[in-house]
Structure 1
Amino acid sequence: MSGARPETPGGSPSPLARRLSLNALLDGFVFVYAGVAAVWLAWLILSESFEFGWFGILFFLAFWLVLAYLVLPRLHRILTTIYVPDYFIGRARTSDGLLGDPVNLAFLGDEEDLHAAMESAGWTRADDITLASSWRIIASTLSRRSYDEAPVSPLFLFGRTQDFAYQQEVEGNPARRHHVRFWRTPDGWLLPGGRRVDWLAAGTFDRAVGFSLFTLQITHKIDADIDVERDHIVRTLIGAEASVRVDVVRDFSTGYHSRNGGGDTIRTDGDLPVVDVARVVEPRPVADQSKPGPDSWGEVAGKRPAFESPVRLAEREAAPVAMRRPVQTVLGAALIVVRVLLGVVWMLALAFDWNRVLENDFGLAPRDDDWTALAGTALTVVVVVGSLVLAVELGFAWLVFRGSNWARIAVMAVAVASISIAAIDYFVGDIEITVRTTLLTLAVDILVLLALSSRSARAYARRPRR
């Protein structure tokens, strides 16, 4: 079976299976640990906001950023792993695991046909999410300047983000737009009921920019009546290409009222238009999808199961060798460099204040020239050892950036140890953690953990190598 654990001839799990299981166990532990640590960090930052008067507003802003973009997404991700089904139920999922937009369109045809049909109908392909495109959409939204190719947030279906998205901006306002995401269906996959389609899509209309009800993040708010947007997409395609055909699967899902991943109300009648764009580029014979047959109904060879075992899901993902380096990996490596820079600052401060440190922290007051020479030697040893440690950290930052899984795990292990020691000192030793002491370094450790334990960073580090 494809989902079975690899075994040796004797029946015991293979070394690969044991290694993958151990990796999955470690990643799962760190994922949850980082979420708990992020909650603690949010509390520490909120506590600091009451200590600085009006400047506390800056700490409150930092608290909101940590809560909205780190704590709540990680908590949602942990909880939805438990209660949200990990198989097709007609809904996409957000990167936090929440149920996202409903799947309300299906397509027949090649990718070339689909692109040609959408472009002919006046739709613009959305840019991929990058630092540059993210900054551009923020700037264009604030300034209300047009950005026809503005990226859309990632939604997941079949365990991956959309293959691409198209949109139509309204009146040059990037806050208001029609948009639709597309996912290619896996080989052998059939709709519930046995119908084969090549693409699934989710179309909604962004009406404004606001705060997410579930994560408090700034996001687009969608119009509740998603059927209007679905029908708009179909009308534009039919109006632009006479070769486009539409067949509606009535009551594909039960009509319902619900909310999407941003907390916006959604309403739908549950119908699923199947749009055939296979003849847009070049006429070709298309099989009748409305009748049962050996390739569309019943027991089909290669049909994907509705449920895959946890062992199968924990195995190395079949990610492409040329997988793009995710932002989380870059951020994790950058934060390690920040930690190194903080270490350099700490050593410089220690060197300038070495005698006071010896006297106040160790009770060693200067006595004579020999003592001074010995203190200088001790400082040299501390600086040399510290420099070696920082150099090793820089090496790990480079390895993490390159996608080394063992380096990622090693860095996370060190971060877990550092955070745990700080937590013991705080909760048991009654040692304060403030912005004047170790809050900054603790925050960097927690941010490193959150970045490198993310799904994207994990998938990149565990991708197949040539």
Structure 2
Amino acid sequence: MRPGEHSAPVPAAPVAAPVLAALEGSQHKVGSHDQLLQRSSFNSLVDNLVFAFSGIAALWLAWLILSESLHVGWYLVPFFVLFWLILAYLVLPRVHKILTSIYVPDYFIGRARTSDGLLGDPINLAAEGSEAQLIAAMSGAGWIRADAVTLRSSWRIITSTVFKRSYHKAPVSPLLLFGRQQDLAYQQEVAGNPAKRHHVRFWKCPDGWLLPGGHKVEWLAAGTFDRAVGFSLFTLQITHKIDSDTDVERDHIVATLTESHPEVSVRIIEDFSTGYHSRNGGGDSIETDGNLPVVDVGKVKGAALAADQSAEARVAARERRRPLSIVLGVVLMSIRVVVGVLTLSLAVGDRVSIIGEVAASLPGGNASLAALFVNIAMAVTAASILLYAALSALVFRGSNRARVTVMGLSVLLLAGAALGFFSGTSVTLRGDLFGLPVDILVLLALSAQNSSTFSRREASPAPSVE
């Protein structure tokens, strides 16, 4: 620039506007993210409150069934069985879930957890290698991949156990580690008896995750031996009872792998945990020396897995799958709708006599006013049935708002019934079989953790990016 000349003001670069717009957009995204977090926190609060309330309601239902069974004579046995089913599969699991969320650590302590939150089998084995290599190693060692837990496989293992028929691919109950159920499960049936079997569950470790002490492994596993079928000490459910010496089963698994695959190597993490004896989620005694064998199957040749067969793909598919609790809740709601339609149809058919009864209770026996009251009541009832049916369809599709609305309605109905019960009004299941019990069961089903996760999957906030 020459002396005496003045520089003209430099205009803002064209990129400034897009940058400002991007900043404004990022602020909008941050605001949206904060709103999603607030909504998620509110939903979690509602779920936790309803979860606890439904546990209390389930206790009440169990008490009503028990008290009813004492006044029905020879029907006592069916009512007692119903009481046990409600207690073992609804009440006690819900109570354990509430309590264990308070006192059981939600991080790795060397134990798997049951779906009810109880401490399950000990983690007594680790592995290194790809999923394909692990599958090839286990199959080559004589282990059978267990079927997934479904209604069909559950019924088959029941009948196989009762009639002592072999079921070499019998399902293994889910245990949780890293917040999810096992990725792989294998078993070896003993003498064709599904009540006795070796079995092991595998979980793939998260990327970059280290064991206490800084040890890196790719898989963790829990291996135990089923010795019989019996009742769970903590929930009274029918389940497999395991042998207490889990180290024997751990060593059996390692031996089958090393004997069938010479290329498999093993190293021992000594004192991985202190040696201890405890109980698992079924109440069975367990003991271990605290050592953790790490089986390296990295040299085993495994067939390439299809993209939809990997552990990650199965986890993603499981998260998208509609849980049984949602299906059960919708079925119960549908029963409510059908009963409501039948009741309303009977009322419409008996409309004349109903109007007469209402008119008799009015001053002067005003039939026109009675007819108006009855027509309004029937119209409101029909609208309520239609609304409930629409809500059931939305719940089935995964609407969280519909699920919360139904839970709110159930809470109000149950609170009203409880208020009447504690005020001296008689509440009997025989007189309200499709009312109070169904409302409690709907609440239990829709407040289950699987139902909440499924319904809130699209509303969950995306992870923030720093």
Common fold: TM-score over 0.5: yes
Contact 1:351 1:379 in 2 (8 A): no
On the 8 A contact 2:359/2:369 being kept in 1, the answer is no
Within 5 Å, give how 1:239-318 maps onto structure 2.
239-281=259-301
User: Which secondary structure state, in structure 1, belongs to the residue aligned with residue 385 of structure 2?
Assistant: helix
The answer to whether structure 1 residue 339 and structure 2 residue 336 are counterparts is yes
Query: Which residue does the alignment assign to 1:442?
Result: 436
**Residues of 1 paired with 2:218 and 2:137: CA distance?**
15
Q: Deviation digits for residues 342-387 of structure 1, max 9, x if unmatched?
A: 212322343455566556678538999x83x765565444333322
| Structure-2 separation of matches of 1:100 and 1:191 | 19
Residue 250 of structure 2 is aligned to residue 230 of structure 1: yes
Per-residue deviation at 1:440?
3.4
Alignment of 1:455 with 2:449, yes or no, is yes
Question: Given the superposition, is the C-alpha separation of residues 99 and 321 from structure 1 closer, same or farther in structure 2, using an over 3 Å criterion?
Answer: closer
Number of the residue aligned with 1:49: 69
Q: Is the 8 A contact 1:319 1:463 kept in 2?
A: no
Residue of structure 1 aligned with 2:404, choices 402, 405, 409:
409
- Contact kept, 8 Å, 1:321 with 1:465, in 2: the verdict is no
Partners of 2:359 and 2:370 within 8 A in 1: no
Distance 1:108 1:93 in 2: 23
Query: In structure 1, how many angstroms separate the alpha carbons of the residues matched to 2:212 and 2:343?
Result: 60
Residue 91 of structure 1 contacts residue 102 of structure 1 at CA under 8 Å; is this kept in 2?
A: yes
Residues 282 and 210 of structure 1: is their aligned pair in 2 closer, same or farther, counting only changes over 3 Å?
A: closer
Aligned residue identity for 1:197: V
Structure 1 partner of 2:325: 328
Tell which structure's C-alpha radius of gyration is larger.
Answer: 2
User: Is the contact between residue 183 and residue 200 of structure 1 (CA under 8 Å) also seen in structure 2?
Assistant: yes
CA distance 1:79–1:398, change in 2 (3 Å): same
CA distance, structure 2, for counterparts of residue 258 and residue 361 of structure 1: 66
Deviations 1:164-193 (A, max 9, x none): 200011111111111101111111110000
Does residue 199 of structure 1 match 2:235? Answer: no
Q: Work out whether residues 155 and 162 of structure 1, in 8 Å CA contact, stay in contact via their aligned partners in 2.
A: yes
Moved more, 455-464 or 435-444: 435-444
Q: CA deviation at 1:409?
A: 0.8
Residue 69 of structure 1, CA deviation:
0.5
Whether the 8 Å contact between 1:359 and 1:365 is mirrored in structure 2 is no
Shift of 1:438: 2.3
1:419 maps onto 2:418 in alignment: no
Q: How far did residue 336 of structure 1 move?
A: 0.8
- TM-score in terms of structure 1 length: 0.85
Contact 2:326 2:446 in 1 (8 A): yes
Q: Say if 1:141 and 1:175, in contact at 8 Å, map to a contact too.
A: yes
Is this contact kept in 2: 1:319–1:459, CA < 8 A? no
**Judging changes above 3 Å, is the alpha-carbon distance between structure 1 residues 45 and 329 closer, same or farther for their aligned structure 2 residues?**
same
Do the aligned residues in 2 keep the contact of 1:38 with 1:70 (CA within 8 Å)? yes
Written as runs of structure 1 = structure 2, the 5 A alignment for 1:30-429 is 30-281=50-301, 323-354=320-351, 363-364=360-361, 371=367, 378-428=373-423
Corresponding residue of 2:39: 19
**Secondary structure, in 3 states, of the residue corresponding to 1:186?**
coil
Structure 2 distance, partners of 1:14, 1:188, is 28
Aligned-partner residue type, residue 382 of structure 2: S
Which consecutive unaligned segments of at least 5 residues does structure 1 have? 1-5, 284-317
* Distance across 2 between alignment mates of 1:272 and 1:279: 20
What do you get for the CA RMSD once the two structures are aligned? Answer: 2.6
Range with bigger deviation, 399-408 or 434-443: 434-443
1:282 Cα offset (Å) = 6.2
Distance (whole Å) between structure 1 residues aligned to residue 335 and residue 191 of structure 2:
43
The change in CA–CA distance for 1:81 and 1:116 in structure 2 (over 3 A counts) is same
Q: How far off its partner does 1:103 sit?
A: 0.3
Secondary structure of 2:272's match?
Answer: coil
Q: Is the 8 A contact 1:42 1:63 kept in 2?
A: yes
> Could you list the per-position Cα deviations for residues 46-71 of structure 1 after superposition, in whole angstroms to 9, with x for gaps in the alignment?
11101110102211111111100000
User: Is the Cα–Cα contact under 8 Å of residues 342 and 441 in structure 1 kept in the other structure?
Assistant: no
- Pair 1:382–1:203, CA change in 2 (3 A): same
Residues 114/404 of structure 1: CA separation in 2 closer, same or farther (3 Å cut): same
SS at match of 2:78: helix
Tell me how far 1:324 sits from its aligned partner: 1.3
Provide the rounded CA distance (Å) in 1 between the counterparts of 2:322 and 2:158: 23
**Aligned-partner SS, 1:14:** helix
Letter in 2 for 1:444: V
Distance 2:374 2:31 in 1: 58
CA contact (8 A) 1:319 1:464 kept: no
Retained in 2: the 8 A contact 1:7–1:13?
A: no
- Name the one with the larger helix percent: 2
- The Cα of 1:136 is off from its aligned counterpart by 1.1
User: How far apart in 1 are the matches of 2:75 and 2:161?
Assistant: 28
Q: CA deviation at 1:125?
A: 0.6
Q: Does the 8 Å contact 1:137/1:147 carry over to 2? A: yes
- Counterpart residue type for residue 417 of structure 2: A
| Displacement after TM superposition at 1:437 (Å) | 2.3
Say which is worse superposed, 56-65 or 456-465, in terms of deviation. 456-465
Q: 1:355 to 1:436 in 2, by over 3 A?
A: farther
State the Cα deviation string for residues 410-430 of structure 1 (Å, max 9, x = none). 1111111111111111112x2
TM value normalised by structure 2: 0.85
Q: In structure 1, what is the equivalent of residue 308 of structure 2?
A: none
1-side partners of 2:192 and 2:101: how far apart?
Answer: 39
Q: Answer yes or no: is the 8 Å Cα contact 2:336–2:435 preserved in 1.
A: yes
CA displacement at 1:462 relative to structure 2: 1.3
